[in-house]
Amino acid sequence: GAGVSQTPSNKVTEKGKYVELRCDPISGHTALYWYRQSLGQGPEFLIYFQGTGAADDSGLPNDRFFAVRPEGSVSTLKIQRTERGDSAVYLCASSPGAGSKTQYFGPGTRLLVL
Amino acid sequence: GNSVTQMEGPVTLSEEAFLTINCTYTATGYPSLFWYVQYPGEGLQLLLKATKADDKGSNKGFEATYRKETTSFHLEKGSVQVSDSAVYFCALSDSSGTASKLTFGTGTRLQVTL
């Protein structure tokens, strides 16, 4: 079956611009996670959704970052006033439900802020 | 807080050599433990997992045993192949609450040569 998909695969933007990154989870998966992976590092947790609500947003670095999942399926990560330090690969993962420990990752969106 | 420490890479081995990648963790309670693999140009894939002490996860000839007494989850393979060249990430999933956000190590790059 279809895995987690993310669009765009690459995004180049200028400092100060607004960007949106999209994630389509595996069908039927109720839990969705966003992570950020900087070069040479492991992924770092940003936010977790269970259904439509953000159950844990403790990893968002500041208020320029925001994510939504209005219908409990597709999610969008939004970054306002981008900074060069936001450049990274943004990963989305989904899992079948609350308490499920296995997450399935998408290919990521590589964001470059010039 | 939770943390994962992996041996630094790169690890360079000849084909058919024995592989060990060390991973130790710090966590409260009883986390689940994972190894993820990232092949060149691809997304993170779950390699194996273990959910309780003394469990052994295995897949594609790789094994790892959940050792609570040493807080370790070392990855092993008896005979590596060139196709195993990738970056390997050790991760843990918090056991508290319903959120299962993953905490990753920094990754270990494995290069296997003929």
Residue B106 has pLDDT above 90, yes or no: yes
Question: Vertex B7, ends B64 and B18: CA angle to 5°?
Answer: 55
Q: Hey, what are B41's tokens?
A: 């140009």
pLDDT for A28-53, tens place per residue? Answer: 899 999 999 999 899 999 999 988 98
Residue A15 distance to chain B (closest CA, Å): 26
Confidence of residue B56 (pLDDT cuts 50, 70, 90): very high
* Residues B104, A44: C-beta atoms closer than 8 Å: yes
pLDDT digits (tens, 9 = 90+) for A11-30: 999 999 999 999 999 998 99
Give the number of other CB atoms < 10 A from CB of residue A44.
18
Percentage with pLDDT > 90 across chain B: 80
Q: What is the pLDDT of residues A56-96, one digit of tens each?
A: 899 999 999 999 999 999 999 999 999 999 999 999 999 98
pLDDT of residue A99: 60
Residue of A6, A34, A42 whose CA lies nearest to B99: A34
pLDDT of residue B99: 58
pLDDT, tens digit (0-9, with 9 covering 90-100), for B70-87: 999 999 999 999 999 999
Higher per-residue pLDDT: B37 or B97: B37
B96 pLDDT higher than 70:
no
Asked if residue B3 lies in contact with residue B26, where contact means CB atoms within 8 angstroms, the answer is yes
CA distance A26 to A17: 30
- The tens digit of pLDDT for each residue in B3-28 reads 999 988 899 999 999 999 999 999 98
Among A41, A102, A104, A110, the strongest candidate for a mutation testing the B interface, having the largest count of B CBs within 10 A, is: A102
Query: Closest partner residue to A95 among B36, B89, B100, by Cβ?
Result: B100
